[in-house]
Amino acid sequence: MRAIQSKKDRIGLFGGTFDPVHFGHLKIALLAKKRFCLKKIIFIPSARPPHKMDAKLIAFKHRFKMISLALKNKKGFYLSDIEFKRKNNPFTIDTVRYFKKTTKADIYFIAGADSLLDLTSWKDYKDLIKECHFVVANRSEFPITRSKIPLNKISLLRNKDIDISSSTVRERISKGLGIKRIVPDAVRIYIMKRGLYK
């Protein structure tokens, strides 16, 4: 017997700090969009991730602007500042439920492998995995195998071209090295003009 296919639209929510956004993020989004037939993907930068409270993040306005520049003229890719505008620093479960309610769509939450490693520390994570389908980008720096994942609603994206990290971009900038091939030109220019990550 064939499983009944949902007639709902599928929407991808791509969460993260994007500090800064790079080509790896864009390739992850494109792969996920094609593989899961997503109508659109919404990039949702975190204002202040609860699990990264001690991290020194570039101001939200800069991260938001860089994503905006990276997504310019990218069909099917959108940007939301919902986690900045909503009070009390909303958790992922809150964001997923908001989009699920307002769009009436099947939600696919896209995240990096580093985020998945501490998923059990996320607020209401057991409820979260019931509310959406997880899509995780596997990287050699944070190798994920199904034996490490105590969940059954996770799909892994594997591609050598997505093995890029924001920390690598920041490190190269701090050392005075080029980033032309790992971030969009508009983002690179924005970073250089404002002296970010030095």
44 domain residue, yes or no:
yes
For residue 150, what pLDDT is reported? Answer: 52
158 domain residue, yes or no:
yes
Cα 127 to Cα 62: distance, rounded to the nearest angstrom: 32
4 domain residue, yes or no:
no
* pLDDT at residue 143 greater than cutoff 80: no
* pLDDT at residue 184 greater than cutoff 50: yes
DSSP code for 58: P
37 domain residue, yes or no:
yes
Residue type, 83: E
Q: Write out pLDDT tens, residues 88-131.
A: 767 899 999 999 999 999 999 998 877 777 787 888 988 888 89
Mean pLDDT of the chain: 85
For residue 53, what pLDDT is reported? Answer: 52
For residue 151, what pLDDT is reported? Answer: 54
Quote the number of domains for the chain: 1
Where residue 139 falls among pLDDT bands split at 50, 70, 90?
A: low
* pLDDT at residue 41 greater than cutoff 90: yes
Residue type, 59: A
Cα 117 to Cα 35: distance, rounded to the nearest angstrom: 23
Calculate what percentage of the chain has a pLDDT beyond 90: 60
117 domain residue, yes or no:
yes
For residue 36, what pLDDT is reported? Answer: 95
- Residue 59: which of 13, 20, 114, 115 has the closest Cα? 20
- Residue 121: which of 57, 52, 58 has the closest Cα? 52
29 domain residue, yes or no:
yes
Is the CB of residue 90 less than 8 Å from the CB of residue 84? no
141 domain residue, yes or no:
yes
Higher pLDDT, 143 or 178: 178
Do β-strands 77-79 and 106-112 pair in parallel, antiparallel, or remain unpaired?
unpaired
* pLDDT at residue 160 greater than cutoff 90: no
Work out whether the CA dihedral 106, 111, 117, 121 comes out positive or negative.
negative
Phi/psi at 78 (nearest 5 deg)?
Answer: -130, 170
Residue type, 76: G
Q: What is the CATH number of the domain that holds 132?
A: 3.40.50.620
* pLDDT at residue 6 greater than cutoff 80: no
Q: Give me the domain span that covers residue 151.
A: 10-163
155 domain residue, yes or no:
yes
Cα 54 to Cα 81: distance, rounded to the nearest angstrom: 22
What mean pLDDT comes out for the span 139-165? 65
Residue 148 CB neighbour total at 10 angstroms: 10
